[in-house]
Structure 1
Amino acid sequence: MPDWSSDALGALRSTEEVQLATRRRDGTLRNPRVIWVVTSGQRVFIRSTNGRSTAWFRAATATSAGRLQARGAAYDVTFTEVDDEDDLALADAGYRAKYAHYPSIVAHLEEHGPRAATLEVHPA
């Protein structure tokens, strides 16, 4: 998989919310959703606050493709599910560091349901 550019990582690190549009099986984009995104080194993670049953998460795992928009730039992406405890801990730490000013939301994101809906995002 290709690496994130330093510009892309900077945009994802420095913005609080990004737009995520998942791809349908025919390649067209669904309507975007606003989500939070975190980084750990060169890695990028997203998490569904409402767990695995949300429409955007199901779509992301069905096609493994989408687009993130941050700071005026669009990035075609792919997704892989995260289930390794060390990787989940990296995502947890990213949420705690970046969104510390929302402690109750971050605490919720560390609960089983949202944590089980963690994806790593890769540039396409």
Structure 2
Amino acid sequence: MGHRMTALSPPERLRLMLRFDPGSGVCLWAIDDTTRAALGDGAVEVERLPLDANLRHRLWHLIAWFDTSIDWNDPLQPGPFWSAAEAERFQHACQDTLAALRHALPPDRYEVLDDPQAATGSTA
């Protein structure tokens, strides 16, 4: 009685989006069923990913920084609450961190997309 060897298929890539939502406490979101099954529905805590402490802290810093972009006394007002210079600094920091994320997470296992609204400063 012979045994047949079958090749295991590699796990599917997990797809995340870097997106900021005021007050959510997260900036990474599962964007497909495979990722939601692996990491949970919607928001992905940075602790669930194989990231070093410095990169986790950078992400938490961006979350806290983004939370200053709206007027918490009237959060439904269109934003951002920042100056154009502050918004530009934030966007540069986001792009640097996105590049660091893409470098830190194995590309055969993870894909990290940028939120197209991030460039406009929109929070909707």
Q: Which structure has more strand as a fraction of its residues? A: 1
Q: Which has the larger radius of gyration?
A: 2
Higher normalized helix content (fraction of residues): 2
